[in-house]
Amino acid sequence: MNTILKNYYKSMGISEQVFDYCSEIEKGLAGRFHEIDRVAECNQMKVLRAMQNNRLSEACFAPTTGYGYNDIGREALEGIYADVFGTEDALVRPQITCGTHALALALMSQLRPGDELLSPVGKPYDTLEEVIGIRPSNGSLAEYGISYRQVELLPDGSFDYDAIEKALNDKTRMVTIQRSKGYATRPSFSVGQIGELIAFIKERRPDIICMVDNCYGEFVELKEPSQVGADLVVGSLIKNPGGGLAPIGGYLCGSKECIDRAAYRLTSPGLGKEVGATLGVTQTLLQGLFLAPTVVKGALKGAIYAANIYETLGFKVVPDGRESRHDIIQAVEFGDPVLMKAFCEGIQAAAPVDSYVRPEPWDMPGYDSQVIMAAGAFISGSSIELSADGPMKAPYAVYFQGGLTWEHAKFGIMMSLQKIYETGQINLNKAP
Ligand SMILES: *Cc1c(COP(=O)(O)O)cnc(C)c1O
């Protein structure tokens, strides 16, 4: 078996040294992988139960056009999301174009002129800087007279409760908590930690809307932030919950009040959730959700495998090889643009689509430095599929995520190591 596998990898460009090095690392991960299998099993039941309880039927898959009145599939889809996330209601639409759009919708629908938004977890994800108006932009919250305040994390990555208490004021209307680290090297937060932070805020100000940017966190743990007090959780369907099949979309799950406001903003006051044709994507969105716990499981195994390989080679990895996981992102700090590019070239070369192209840094809209991205995905830009990206600036950290199957994630990481090995800058001769 091992020989057959080794021959396959060899025929695809993996050298014996890389194969042997990676095999040694994999042997040490059986216990971790078993735990991940158990979480996926629970989350699979959670999704299946929601589908059954909402009486999902074949009729739900029929496309609607035009206004999309009485779209029973859309109603089932939103009911299922609400059940999976443990919320009163949900808005799950192909008209939500991406994660940033879903988050902008969440913020702009809940906040009114004169209100203040607070981030108690430091700087939000890059693209939200323009939504909020931290970097001036057309149509930002700042242009509507909505102010923003942020409290940095303490040096050890924990919440600065004293400063958060001081930052709360009469204008504070909403709090935004980003679960995943994004392009930062802080730790990602567990659902338990997010629950503690929300409880702290709600004890002082029960009227504040607590929103969680749940991107990359879905199905990593047994619970979602909406099950520990968040009023609104938000994410992208071309990440975890779309299971790699969703071709577009975003979701918001939360209280009925919050979802009503978001629906009136997405479509129009007076129309809300009643319109929005689904054009035939409902079946794919649901099938993707059905597969999502398994897909996230593969991506998580890939992240842990990568962490252990690169940590053993002496690079800084966040999270480290043993830490518990709260999202599917793995950061590896190369401290060197050549190694960072080689890593991305390996991920690209391992892809099922566009494997023959070489990734190059480019000026991506919404980001303040050049970004390099490796992705050869079935769905354009999908980062639940094996992908790697990062801003081309010190510390030259690459953010690696996804993999629709563990087998593919594993091959991608081996290929990344192969490309790095070929730069001549690392030594694989000593056993890990
Ligand atoms: C990906 C991501 C976003 C933005 O989503 P896009 O779909 O890229 O617009 C926001 N927040 C976090 C934490 C993310 O990972």
Other beta carbons within 10 Å of 268: 10
Judgement on whether residues 279 and 365 belong to the same structural domain of the protein: no
pLDDT in tens, 73-121: 999 999 999 999 999 999 999 999 999 999 999 999 999 999 999 999 9
Q: What are residue 11's phi and psi, to 5 degrees?
A: -65, -15
332 contact partners, CB below 8 Å, separation of at least 6: 306, 307, 310, 315, 316, 317, 343, 397, 398, 400
- CA gap 221, 189 in Å, rounded: 11
Residue 181 Cα: closest atom of ligand 1: 13
Protein residues with CB under 6 Å of any ligand 1 atom = 98-100, 103, 125, 127, 178, 180, 182, 213, 215-216, 236
Same-domain pairing of 247 and 337? no
6 and 124 both lie in a single domain: no
Instruction: Quick: pLDDT tens for 141-157.
Output: 999 999 999 999 999 99
Write down which residue in 274, 289, 304 finishes a domain.
289
Query: 301: which 2 tokens?
Result: 């195994």
Structural domain count, the chain: 2
Which two three-digit tokens encode residue 171?
């204008």
| Whole-number Å distance between alpha carbons of 36 and 55 | 29
Looking at the chain, how many residues does it have? 432
The pTM score is: 0.96
Q: What is the CATH number of the domain that holds 299?
A: 3.90.1150.60
For ligand 1, atom 14, name the residue with the nearest CA.
215
C-alpha 119/C-alpha 127 separation (Å) is 15
Q: Is residue 328 part of a domain?
A: yes
**For the chain, first and last CA: distance in Å?**
23
Assess whether 100 and 82 both reside in one domain: yes
Residue 150 Cα to ligand 1 middle (Å): 19
Contact predicate 235/215, CB 8 Å: yes
Task: Judge if 410 and 352 occupy the same domain.
Answer: yes
Ligand 1 atom nearest to 101, measured from its CA: 9
User: Which of 263, 289, 315 is the C-terminal boundary of a domain?
Assistant: 289
Average pLDDT over the chain, rounded to whole?
A: 96
Of 243, 272, 289, which residue sits at a domain end? Answer: 289
Q: Residue 195: inside a domain, yes or no?
A: yes
The answer to whether the beta carbons of residues 174 and 118 sit under 8 Å apart is: yes
Quote the pLDDT of residue 68. 97
Query: Closest ligand 1 atom to the C-alpha of 179?
Result: 13
User: 428 lies in a domain?
Assistant: no
- For residue 430, being part of any structural domain is answered with no
Q: What percent of the chain has pLDDT over 70?
A: 99
Q: How far, in Å, from the CA of 273 to the mean position of ligand 1?
A: 24
What range defines the domain where residue 415 resides?
Answer: 2-42+292-421
H helix or E strand, kind and range, residue 129: helix 128-132
Q: Rounded to the nearest whole angstrom, what is the distance from the C-alpha of residue 215 to the centroid of ligand 1?
A: 6
316: β partners: 333
Indicate if 176 and 308 belong to the same structural domain.
Answer: no
Helix (H) or strand (E) holding 268: none
Cα maximum dimension of the chain? 68
In terms of phi and psi (left: phi > 0; alpha: psi -120 to 50; beta: otherwise), the region of 65 is beta
Compute the average pLDDT of residues 214-219.
Answer: 98
Cα→Cα distances 4→10, 19, 410, Å: 10, 13, 16
pLDDT of residue 134: 96
For residue 426, is it within any domain? no
Q: What is the pLDDT of residues 319-357, one digit of tens each?
A: 999 999 999 999 999 999 999 999 999 999 999 999 999
Contacts of residue 110, defined as CB under 8 A and 6 or more positions apart, other chains included, come to 173, 174, 209, 211, 232, 258, 261, 262
- Cα–Cα dist 418/408, whole Å: 15
Beta bridge partners of 398: 332
With bands split at pLDDT 50, 70 and 90, how would you rate the model's confidence at 432?
Answer: low
Helix (H) or strand (E) holding 231: none
Q: How high is the pLDDT of residue 430?
A: 62
Other residues' Cβ atoms within 10 Å of the Cβ of residue 14: 21
Q: DSSP state, 389?
A: E
Omega into 319 within 30° of 0, i.e. cis?
A: yes
